[in-house]
Amino acid sequence: FGSSHFSARLFAFCGWRSSAMAAMWAVSRHMRQAASRHALLCSRTLATSETAIAWPRPGRVGMIGVGQLGSAVVGNLLRAGLEPVLHDAKGRELVRPLLAQGASWAPSPRALAERCDVVMTGLPRPEHVSAAMGIGEGANAEEGVLAGLQPGAVWIEHSTTDFNNTARIREEVERRGAKAVAAPLTGGMQILKVGKMVALVGSDEETFQKVKPLISLSAPRIVRCGEFGHETVVKILSNMLCAVQDCAMGEAMMIAKKSGVDMKLLFDAIRVSSGNSFCWETEFARAFDGTYFPDFTAEMMAKDIELGQGLARKLGVPMLMHGQVAQIYEACMAKYGRDSGSTIPVRLVEDACGEALCDEKTREAFKDWTYTTEIVDGSYTVVHQNYDNPFSDIGHALPQK
């Protein structure tokens, strides 16, 4: 139909009664809500770590690199009863709590690969991945993954790393009769810990189907990115955009504060405005709890910007914006430390203005705040928890489980 006025006249002409129209819209609304509930149920069903895994057998999957990302993935493997084998260059003491939960330790990457049908890596930088695999300058080839990798095994790369380096390692993996899957994870560490991450996956189809249930324990929301390589580009670009938002947030927040705008009002208003973003919804609170740390360090963010700049140079793309963002993160790391949180550019603005953004009222509003996420109509949606929602009268809540 055309305009609502024309529709009303047409209904009157046809003799339709208002009650019939109301029933029609009610049925339509019910169908939409039912579809939404079905889609939500499907996503949540996939997100469980209780799913039975037929392959690999318990004790035959390993993780090299047990930091923020690796330990969260290992937690999901443990909940599925897979008894993962662990190795980290920082030593056994780092993973002692995970060993107490049923994981086991391998003294070297080679020893881990010799025991496993699936070898996962979750390491900070390309050179760390190369060292674990046993290739590159200074690497111990005799104790690397490639020295112990079994024919028919699968290497799953969860790190956000250099595309060219990953491609070189893939060649070495396949030369030994094994397969490679690039599967960087995105969506926030808090979401990874509960097994609801997004995986950007590059792999041949047969291997992908083989490891899909395993990847789904941590990341049931899988985006296929072709054979190999594009998934890494997409992940790097995603983090680069987050870096820009982290730098812009502090400036916008300080303008509002100095203008006398209530900070909780600012947060809520932007959430339903065109300036909203995942970083705004999930990192605003980190400026008010004083951590500036959304489970991701400034050093890791700077690394991803560096990887993006490398791609840009290779492809001849100017980096006026991200060049400035890279400098901001370098300044933050010099002033606050490389392990400071990736939201730290907000503090740089606070210090430059000599004024803290946080106030007692806003701190109280966020004291119990947390969040989860859902995929709604194809978009990543933040669902706030333990937070007063002022928009309940103009929106609708997602259906409950």
Assign residue 85 the CATH number of its domain: 3.40.50.720
190 and 99 belong to one structural domain: yes
pTM across the whole model: 0.84
| Residue that terminates a domain, selected from 195, 226, 257 | 226
Asked whether residue 156 is assigned to any structural domain, the reply reads yes
Task: Name the nearest CA neighbour of 219 among 113, 343, 397, 69.
Answer: 69
Q: Cis ω on the peptide bond leading into residue 56 (within 30° of 0)?
A: yes
Most confident of 109-113, 186-190, 359-363: 109-113
Alpha-carbon span 67 to 296, nearest angstrom: 11
Asked whether residue 48 is assigned to any structural domain, the reply reads no
- Please, how many CA atoms are within 13 Å of residue 26, restricted to the half-sphere of its CB? 6
Quote the number of domains for the chain: 2
Task: Count CB neighbours of 400 within 10 A.
Answer: 6
* Contact status, residue 117 vs residue 153, Cβ threshold 8 Å: yes
Tell me the CA distances in angstroms from 42 to 96, 120, 209, 374, one per residue in order: 35, 26, 18, 11
Alpha-carbon span 253 to 267, nearest angstrom: 9
Residue 395 confidence (pLDDT): 79
219 conformational bin, left if phi > 0, alpha if psi -120 to 50, beta if neither:
beta
337 and 283 belong to one structural domain: yes
Dig out the tokens for 396 from the structure. 């609708």
Asked whether residue 35 is assigned to any structural domain, the reply reads no
* Contact status, residue 101 vs residue 137, Cβ threshold 8 Å: no
Q: Is the pLDDT of residue 43 over 60?
A: no
Asked whether residue 38 is assigned to any structural domain, the reply reads no
Assign residue 240 the CATH number of its domain: 1.10.1040.10
332 and 189 belong to one structural domain: no
Asked whether residue 380 is assigned to any structural domain, the reply reads yes
| Residue that terminates a domain, selected from 209, 226, 243 | 226
132 and 180 belong to one structural domain: yes
The owner of tokens 């599967």 is: 183
Residue 288 confidence (pLDDT): 86
* Per-residue model confidence as pLDDT tens digits over 190-227: 899 899 999 999 999 999 999 999 999 999 999 999 88
* Per-residue model confidence as pLDDT tens digits over 263-310: 999 999 999 999 999 999 999 999 888 899 988 999 999 999 999 999
Task: Name the nearest CA neighbour of 210 among 40, 61, 104.
Answer: 61
Task: Name the nearest CA neighbour of 308 among 325, 333, 331, 292.
Answer: 325
- DSSP 3-state assignment of 145? helix
- Please, how many CA atoms are within 13 Å of residue 25, restricted to the half-sphere of its CB? 5
| Residue that terminates a domain, selected from 226, 242, 261 | 226
Which residue range(s) make up the domain with 65?
A: 61-226
Alpha-carbon span 288 to 318, nearest angstrom: 35
Task: Count CB neighbours of 347 within 10 A.
Answer: 20
Asked whether residue 177 is assigned to any structural domain, the reply reads yes
Residue 50 confidence (pLDDT): 53
Higher pLDDT, 223 or 21: 223
Share above pLDDT 70 across residues of the chain, in percent, rounded to a whole number:
87
212 and 310 belong to one structural domain: no
Asked whether residue 72 is assigned to any structural domain, the reply reads yes
Asked whether residue 13 is assigned to any structural domain, the reply reads no
